[in-house]
A and B are shown apart, each in its own frame.
Chain A
Amino acid sequence: MPAAGIILTISICYIGLLFAIAYYGDKRADAGRSIISNPYIYALSLAVYCTAWTFYGSVGRSAQNGVEFLTIYIGPTLMVTLGLLVLRKVVRISKIHRITSIADLISSRYGKSAILGSIVTIIAVIGIIPYISLQLKAISTSYFLIKQFSAATISSDLKGLSAFQHTPLFVTLLLAVFAVLFGTRHLDVTERHEGLVAAIAFESIVKLLAFLSVGLFVTYGLYNGFGDLFSRALAVPEISRLFLIDTSGNPYNRWFCYIFLSMLAILMLPRQFQVAVVENVNEAHIQKAIWLFPLYLLAINLFVLPVTFSGLLKLQNVPIDADWFVLALPMIEKKMGLTLIVFIGGMSAATGMVIVETVALSTMICNELVMPVLLRIRRFQLAKRKDMILLLLTIRRVSILIVLLLGYAYFLLTGGFYALVSIGLVSFAAVAQFAPAFIGGIFWKGGTRTGAMAGLLAGFSVWAYTLVLPSLVQAGLLPLDWLTQGPFGIGLLKPFQLFGMNSPDQITHAVFWSMLANVTMYVGGSLFSRPSLLEQIQANLFVDVFKHSGEMGKSALCRGTASVPDLGSLLERFIGPQKAEEALRRYLGKNSFPFSQNVPADANLVSYVETLLGGTIGAASAHILVTSVIKEEPFGFEEVLGILDETRQVIAYSRELEKATSELKAANERLKELDRLKDEFISTITHELRTPLTSIRSLAEILNTTPDLEKDQHAYFTSIIIKESERLTRLIGQVLDIEKMESDRTEFQTVRIDPRRLIQDAVTATDQLVREKSLHLTMDLPDHAPFVVGDRDLLMQVMVNLISNAVKFSDKAGARIQIRLAVQNGGLLISVTDEGIGIASKDQEAIFMKFHQVKDSIRGRPPGSGLGLSISKSIIERHGGKIWVESGEGKGAAFSFTLPAAD
């Protein structure tokens, strides 16, 4: 028989193990070798969603209506598919703006509003307290149950036991100690608790394994598998009715409502926000988590129904609530080991939730509730306090204790009344009120602070009225006929039947009305109010976060001056001197400012420090603090955003916009021009290709259809075909050359070339052409010329091109062509001069462009493709030289190019 002592020892050991894991996790994080930076740990940490509600309450609920309990898990499963859309955006926003909690996000989004942050915090605390008390109830009850291990019969009716009142208090205090130890050992600028996450991941594994163990034991140990178990259940009508959804009383409304609620809860619950967003190490983990997490949910729910039916079958005569079947079944079968495992699993589930939830809540309370108040009470002179860290940690520890004690108080008041699941759903409905402001905030720029406040207050009021009020009535604090006849006799305002809506389920009814009120007031309030400049800036930064990634909120709030040391000492007080100096050095180093005294801090640095601080104390408080450092006096928001500031900022903003617009316009023009040139090029090429092809085709047709053509006609046509084909081949070759040249893909040989030999070879190659037109070519070469380095074939191509052009455009027989080679500073100058028709000055630049040929009214288009000079230009420029022409119409032309000498 497990004495109380043994149970306690095992529990403490287990918690000790968790703490050791957390400690190790933190140590590794500090050393920079994080153990939690992988998607599996991330997904497991999300499983903190499964609390004692899952572990014990699911069985309890399913004993009443079958599969309905699954809605709480289907919701998150569906929601995480939107994870890539919603969660990724939220994580990105939170990293950039150093969001510390859900209240911080909402407050920051709507203009860093401290009021909004406080409202969200208060709603969160009030909403979560029932949920916490649920965990306390679970731990206490399971403890008392397990003590009855060897008793003849087990009872879960513990109201009579006096010790039952006190043990939970002990549990509460113990949990407070653990939460403080896990979550508030030090202040982290990013508000992350790596050790905590490691411990949570571990306990997720523990509770899964515990539940699977008892599930397997029941299904295969007590029975022969699923089939056996279900067929026995089938035999008992009261049990088999659970196979189906009970179609009386609009179950599908409830079904949908619970799915809807849990979909929201997976993000809005403070603990979920903490592990999913704040503790997220790497956005990439989200990708795996969106199917790993639902898989976990599936696994942990697999054996719920078998356990339920088994309990209903075996424990008919035992006065025990269905909530506790999980523990009772191994107890009845006298399996001590398994019982302990189950107990640890349930305790694990409960403590995990409590620790993370209270840490998250304490952060919110400290940053959004306490700090803004303290900052404004001038007596505290917070801006001048030396060491803030201890103060912050103390505030958080006290908050944890208070929240837990409130949970205990709630448990005392109502613990006996409700089944576990109902309590949990009330909390879900409370945090669901954050959804419109939250989701609207990250997708809709039109959401304003006024709208958010209106929505939150409206939704919360309706929630309180329809869900909390009744329990106060049942606790006897309010008259009963408020429920039956409405307050002050107003029938339409009956808490369970607002405006006459008859819904059999309290929760669905409450959710409908509260969400309706919330969304209406949020949208209406936003549409009918004007946001301040700060709100608009935040709205842009949040909704367009993927466009702004990497930028901070650019100096939009520059006002006043502070010196770097001032900001430094402010930082010091909150994150310690070492980290402050590190951070500043990093920033200044990146922007290459000298790290010296009394350098005035520019707006960017101010913004940076403010964001850094915000990571510790929340955006709203950081804003107040930084403002006070600059102005040496605590300030209100309205004063800071004076008219002058607004104008200055708007002007600066629009100037930047103008610059960006004109840059874009210029780029667009360039692109359009390039596009036009490309089209021209293509149309010219196709034309050039088609012309010879047409001649070839028609001549070939003639040859084909006139077999008795005269012999010399035949020969003539054939020679034209050959010439045109050669022309076509040359053209295509040139186009390819140009293309290769432009895309730099030519195999560029680099050899040493003797320019005199090069010229002589080119002359030899073109000898035939020169003699055909009876022209007179001379060379003027020095005796010695330095070598050049380059591609011999390409340079040959240039020489041949120039010479053949000179030949082409010389019109008088006996005209001279002169090739001159001169050595000039560091390079060579080669020129080819002819006495031909010359080139008008207006064409002298254009001839080097693709396909350009000087059209002459008399002589028409010259033969050739028009690409030769363009190719030559590319070649010369690739060799590091220049090419140009000197000419006058009718006065011949001198083409010259330079080449650098080889050294």
Chain B
Amino acid sequence: MAADKKNDRLICLFLLGMILFNYPILSLLNRPAMVFGIPLLYFYIFFIWAVWIFFVGIITASGTDYRQIRNEVQQPGTDA
């Protein structure tokens, strides 16, 4: 199902993020060097962060439109 696929991809992305943002990958980049005049470590973290967000955006943009969820849940009393 599309929703499951999306969930799976997000979970994979999550695990990837856990690896990329932690030891030991982080320790590999913990060295004095500059990229475009910015320290390597900073550049890496912000860059990966931005890319990661980008992928999340892509994964969630496709697939199930949750707008119809509104109609699924019947709410007695006030409407949501």
Contact between B57 and A291, CB atoms less than 8 A apart: yes
Using A67-B41, A95-B73, A255-B23 as known contacts, say yes or no to A282 and B80 having CB atoms under 8 A apart. Answer: yes
**Chain A neighbourhood of B42, CB < 8 A:** 67, 243, 305
Contact between B11 and A255, CB atoms less than 8 A apart: no
A371 to B21, CA, bound (A): 45
Contact between A252 and B27, CB atoms less than 8 A apart: yes
Using A67-B42, A283-B69 as known contacts, say yes or no to A256 and B23 having CB atoms under 8 A apart. Answer: yes
Report the minimal beta-carbon distance from B48 to chain A, rounded to whole angstroms: 10
A230 within 8 A of B: yes
- How many residues of chain B are within 8 Å of chain A by beta carbon? 47
A756 to B17, CA, bound (A): 82
Report the minimal beta-carbon distance from A98 to chain B, rounded to whole angstroms: 8
A74 to B39, CA, bound (A): 19
Using A259-B21, A281-B80, A302-B46 as known contacts, say yes or no to A550 and B13 having CB atoms under 8 A apart. Answer: no
Contact between B60 and A84, CB atoms less than 8 A apart: yes
Partner pick for B14 among A78, A286, A302, A590, CB 8 A cutoff = A78
Report the minimal beta-carbon distance from A687 to chain B, rounded to whole angstroms: 39
For window 38-80 of B, CB contacts with A under 8 Å fall at 38-42, 45-46, 49-50, 52-54, 56-57, 60, 65-67, 69-70, 72-78, 80
Of B13, B56, B70, most buried by chain A (CB within 10 Å of CB) is: B56
Name the interface size band of chain A.
Answer: 35 or more
Using A190-B78, A190-B80, A608-B77 as known contacts, say yes or no to A74 and B21 having CB atoms under 8 A apart. Answer: yes
For window 3-35 of A, CB contacts with B under 8 Å fall at none
Partner pick for B60 among A189, A228, A287, A583, CB 8 A cutoff = A287
Using an 8 Å CB-CB cutoff, how does the interface string of B19-36 with A read, 1 for contact, 0 for none? 001110011001110101
**Chain A neighbourhood of B72, CB < 8 A:** 549-550
**Chain B neighbourhood of A330, CB < 8 A:** none
Using A81-B56, A230-B38, A283-B70 as known contacts, say yes or no to A583 and B7 having CB atoms under 8 A apart. Answer: no
A887 within 8 A of B: no
**Chain B neighbourhood of A611, CB < 8 A:** 76-77
Using an 8 Å CB-CB cutoff, how does the interface string of A251-272 with B read, 1 for contact, 0 for none? 0100110010000000000000
Using an 8 Å CB-CB cutoff, how does the interface string of A277-310 with B read, 1 for contact, 0 for none? 0000111101110110011001000100100000
A163 within 8 A of B: no
Partner pick for B11 among A82, A190, A294, A583, CB 8 A cutoff = A82
Report the minimal beta-carbon distance from A253 to chain B, rounded to whole angstroms: 9
Contact between A243 and B39, CB atoms less than 8 A apart: yes
Report the minimal beta-carbon distance from A36 to chain B, rounded to whole angstroms: 13
Contact between A291 and B53, CB atoms less than 8 A apart: yes
Report the minimal beta-carbon distance from A739 to chain B, rounded to whole angstroms: 31
**Chain A neighbourhood of B67, CB < 8 A:** 282, 284
B18 within 8 A of A: yes
The interface of chain A, by Cβ under 8 A from chain B, is 66-67, 70, 74, 77-78, 80-82, 84-85, 92, 95-96, 189-190, 226-228, 230-231, 234, 240, 243-245, 247, 252, 255-256, 259, 281-284, 286-288, 290-291, 294-295, 298, 302, 305, 549-550, 552, 579, 583, 586-587, 590, 608, 611-612, 615
**Chain B neighbourhood of A231, CB < 8 A:** 37
A608 to B41, CA, bound (A): 56
**Chain A neighbourhood of B38, CB < 8 A:** 226-227, 230
A420 to B73, CA, bound (A): 43
**Chain B neighbourhood of A287, CB < 8 A:** 60, 66
Contact between B60 and A230, CB atoms less than 8 A apart: no
**Chain A neighbourhood of B50, CB < 8 A:** 298
Please name 6 pairs of A and B residues whose Cβ atoms are closer than 8 Å in the assembled complex, sorted by A: A84-B7, A284-B70, A290-B60, A291-B56, A550-B72, A611-B77
Task: Give 10 new A-B contacts, CB below 8 A, not counting A282-B70, A550-B73.
Answer: A81-B56, A190-B78, A227-B36, A243-B42, A281-B80, A284-B65, A295-B53, A583-B77, A587-B76, A612-B77
Contact between A95 and B75, CB atoms less than 8 A apart: yes
Contact between A252 and B26, CB atoms less than 8 A apart: yes
Partner pick for A286 among B18, B41, B66, B74, CB 8 A cutoff = B66
A228 to B38, CA, bound (A): 9
Partner pick for A252 among B13, B22, B36, CB 8 A cutoff = B22
Closest to A246 in B: B30
Contact between A255 and B26, CB atoms less than 8 A apart: yes
Using A291-B57, A294-B53 as known contacts, say yes or no to A256 and B22 having CB atoms under 8 A apart. Answer: yes
Closest to A284 in B: B66
Contact between A255 and B22, CB atoms less than 8 A apart: yes
Contact between A247 and B60, CB atoms less than 8 A apart: no
Closest to A571 in B: B77
Using A255-B23, A298-B53 as known contacts, say yes or no to A245 and B13 having CB atoms under 8 A apart. Answer: no
Contact between A189 and B78, CB atoms less than 8 A apart: yes
**Chain B neighbourhood of A295, CB < 8 A:** 53
Contact between A81 and B13, CB atoms less than 8 A apart: yes
Partner pick for A78 among B18, B32, B45, CB 8 A cutoff = B18
A234 to B70, CA, bound (A): 54
**Chain A neighbourhood of B66, CB < 8 A:** 283-284, 286-287
**Chain B neighbourhood of A228, CB < 8 A:** 37
Closest to B27 in A: A252
**Chain B neighbourhood of A579, CB < 8 A:** 78
**Chain B neighbourhood of A244, CB < 8 A:** 30-32, 39, 41
* Across the A-B interface, the 3 shortest Cβ-Cβ residue pairs: A227-B37, A252-B23, A243-B39
Closest to A551 in B: B74
Report the minimal beta-carbon distance from B68 to chain A, rounded to whole angstroms: 8
**Chain B neighbourhood of A95, CB < 8 A:** 73, 75, 80
Contact between B74 and A67, CB atoms less than 8 A apart: no
Contact between A243 and B76, CB atoms less than 8 A apart: no
Of A77, A81, A282, A583, most buried by chain B (CB within 10 Å of CB) is: A81
Using A226-B37, A231-B37, A255-B23 as known contacts, say yes or no to A77 and B52 having CB atoms under 8 A apart. Answer: yes
**Chain B neighbourhood of A590, CB < 8 A:** 76
**Chain A neighbourhood of B18, CB < 8 A:** 78
Closest to A243 in B: B39
Closest to B76 in A: A608
Using A82-B14, A227-B36, A612-B76 as known contacts, say yes or no to A298 and B46 having CB atoms under 8 A apart. Answer: yes
A136 to B77, CA, bound (A): 40
A298 to B46, CA, bound (A): 8
A775 to B45, CA, bound (A): 96
A92 to B80, CA, bound (A): 11
A226 to B34, CA, bound (A): 12
A228 to B75, CA, bound (A): 58
**Chain A neighbourhood of B73, CB < 8 A:** 92, 95-96, 549-550
Closest to B44 in A: A67
Contact between B76 and A290, CB atoms less than 8 A apart: no
Contact between B77 and A587, CB atoms less than 8 A apart: yes
**Chain B neighbourhood of A305, CB < 8 A:** 42
Report the minimal beta-carbon distance from B79 to chain A, rounded to whole angstroms: 9
**Chain A neighbourhood of B40, CB < 8 A:** 243
Report the minimal beta-carbon distance from A385 to chain B, rounded to whole angstroms: 22
A259 to B57, CA, bound (A): 21
Partner pick for A230 among B23, B34, B65, CB 8 A cutoff = B34
Contact between B70 and A245, CB atoms less than 8 A apart: no
**Chain B neighbourhood of A281, CB < 8 A:** 80
Report the minimal beta-carbon distance from B12 to chain A, rounded to whole angstroms: 9
